Amino acid sequence: MAPLQAAIVILLQLMLHQAAGRDVLLPLGTLYRVAGFPLSLPCAVTGYEGARTQDFEWFLYREDANGRQMGIVSTRDQGFPYAPYQGRVRSGEVRVERDSGDKARLVVQRLRPEDQGKYECYTPSTDTSYQGNYSASVVVKVIPDTLQISYTRALTGQPLPEGAGLTLTCSAGVQSKEHTHLSIMFGKRGGDTGGGEGGDVSTLREIIALDRVLGVTPGSSQAYRKRYEDGEITLEKRNGAAGVDTYVVRMRAVKPEDSGSYFCEAAQWILDPDGSWQRIAQRTLEIGNLTVQRLAESMTVTSTPSGRVSLQAGSPLTLTCQVSGLPGGGTSGLLVQWLKRGSLPGDAVAAGAGGVEVEVARMGPDGVVSWGDDLSRGTGGALEMVTEGSYALRLFSARPSDSGVYRCAVSVYAGRKNPAPSAPATFSQRSEGVSVNLKTKEVLVSAVAQLPRGPLLKRGSTVTLLCNVTVTTTGPAQVQVLWLRRPIPEPLITKGDPADAAALLPAGPPSAVAALTYEGMAQLFTNGSEVSVDRVSAVTYRLRVHAASLEDQGLYVCRAEVWGQDPHGGWYNTQAKDESPAVTVYLYARAADLLLIPLVIGVSSALFVGIVIISTITCCFMNRLARQRPVK
Contact partners, residue 455, CB within 8 Å, separation at least 6: none
| Range in 17-21, 98-102, 271-275 with the lowest mean pLDDT | 17-21
Q: Report the C-alpha gap between 479 and 561 in whole angstroms.
A: 6
Q: Across 154-259, where does the E strand assignment appear? A: 160-161, 166-173, 181-189, 205-210, 216-218, 233-238, 244-251
Looking only at the bridges linking them, the beta strands covering 434-439 and 23-25 are unpaired
Q: Given a cut of 70, is residue 81 above it in pLDDT?
A: yes
Q: What is the mean pLDDT of the chain?
A: 83
- Name which of 306, 338, 310 is nearest 398 in CA terms: 310
CB 28 within 8 A of CB 272: yes
Give the tens place of pLDDT for each residue, 348-358. 333 344 568 89
Q: What does each C-alpha distance from 64 to 61, 117, 154, 621 come to in angstroms? A: 9, 9, 45, 154
Alpha helices, H only, 21-97: 83-91
**In the prediction, which pLDDT does 432 show?**
92
Q: Is the pLDDT of residue 284 over 50?
A: yes
Indicate the pLDDT class of residue 185, thresholds 50, 70 and 90. Answer: very high
What single letter denotes the amino acid at residue 74? S
CA distances, 118 to each of 64, 122, 276, 277 (Å): 11, 13, 20, 21
Helix, strand or coil for residue 604? helix
Say how far apart CA 374 and CA 341 lie, in whole Å. Answer: 14
Q: How far apart (Å, rounded) are the C-alpha atoms in residues 565 and 570?
A: 6
Q: How far apart are CA 87 and CA 69, in angstroms?
A: 18
pTM, rounded to two decimals: 0.63
| Burial 191-206, CB ≥16 within 10 A → b, else e | bbeebbeebeeeeebb
Q: Which pLDDT band, with edges at 50, 70 and 90, does 89 fall under?
A: very high
pLDDT beyond 50 at 1: no
Q: Residue 576's pLDDT is what?
A: 87
Task: Give the Cα separation of 490 and 493 in Å (integer).
Answer: 5
pLDDT higher than threshold 80 for residue 451: yes
C-alpha to C-alpha distances, 44 to 39, 47, 381, nearest whole angstrom: 17, 10, 85
φ, ψ for residue 462 (rounded to 5)?
-95, 125
Q: How confident is the model at residue 376 (pLDDT cuts 50, 70, 90)?
A: low
Secondary structure string (H, E, C) spanning 179-198: CCEEEEEEEEECCCCCCCCC
Amino acid 418: pLDDT: 81
Beta-bridge partners for 97: 105
pLDDT over threshold 70, residue 150: yes
Tens of pLDDT, residues 288-299: 999 998 888 888
Instruction: Determine how β-strand 292-293 pairs with β-strand 160-161.
Output: parallel
3-state secondary structure of 38: coil
pLDDT tens for 10-60 read: 444 444 444 557 899 999 989 999 999 999 999 999 988 888 999 999 999
Instruction: Compute the distance between CA of residue 30 and CA of residue 481 in angstroms, rounded to an integer.
Output: 104
What are the C-alpha distances in Å from 297 to residues 40, 106, 323?
A: 51, 55, 13
φ, ψ for residue 623, nearest 5 deg? -65, -45
Look at residue 284 and give its three-state secondary structure: strand
212 touches 181 (CB < 8 A): yes
The answer to whether residues 280 and 270 touch, using CB atoms and an 8 Å cutoff, is: yes
